[in-house]
Amino acid sequence: MPAKTTKVAITGGIATGKSTVSKMFQELGAVILDADQVAREVVAPGSPGWKRLRQLLGPDYFGETGELKRAMLRDLIIADPQCREQVNAILHPAIMERMDGEWRRHAEAHDGRPVLFDIPLLFEGKWDRYFETIVLVYVPREIQIQRLMDRDRLSRPEAEKTLTMQLPIDSKKVLSHIIIDNSKDLEHTRRQVEAVWNQLKN
């Protein structure tokens, strides 16, 4: 299947550096469909997703102008796995529908640029079945914990609890087709990204 019509996903884990790698691909010319950005769009005040979330969560999770209090929701879904599943059941189909529409528009344009779906919760949302190629941005769990502690100023127990929201990074490694090791310096990562880019274009 030609690269322009192949569905390629890039994923990772919390604090593995997926956003950095996605930016590198974008600089090389890839079209990036960002699930996090789309997730913000599907909960815009007044949207169907927003209405369903408000029904589920109640008004306390929304500001005076209707915006979702994302940090407050994040704390809730870390603490409450059942609520996390309910929130995901609302958001995930809407996110994928919108991203798929964008992918189709780019595929029909036939410009030859690879299109990457940037999806942090690819495996958790069971979206992996939609993709022919999955690129994982990987660091060992210990590095992941340390980077998360440094980035978000968390204690080790807090960082470890945050990671329970996602599948273990080594489980994702087994399920992926291409691994980009982001545990060293940026130049080491960039060389791998360039090699994968050349592979995706051919």
Structural element, H or E, at residue 64: none
Q: What b/e readout covers 98-128, taking b as 16+ CB neighbours within 10 angstroms?
A: bbeeebeebeeeeeebbbbbbbbbbbbbebb
Weakly modelled stretches of the chain, pLDDT under 50: 1-4
Q: What is the pLDDT of residues 143-154, one digit of tens each?
A: 999 999 999 999
User: What's the whole-model pTM score?
Assistant: 0.85
Structural element, H or E, at residue 134: strand 133-138
Angstrom distance (rounded) from CA 147 to CA 140 = 11
pLDDT reported for residue 1: 35
Angle at 17 between CA 120 and CA 84, to 5 degrees: 30
pLDDT reported for residue 201: 85
Structural domains in the chain, sorted by start: 3-201 (3.40.50.300)
Q: What is the pLDDT of residues 30-59, one digit of tens each?
A: 999 999 999 999 999 999 999 999 999 999
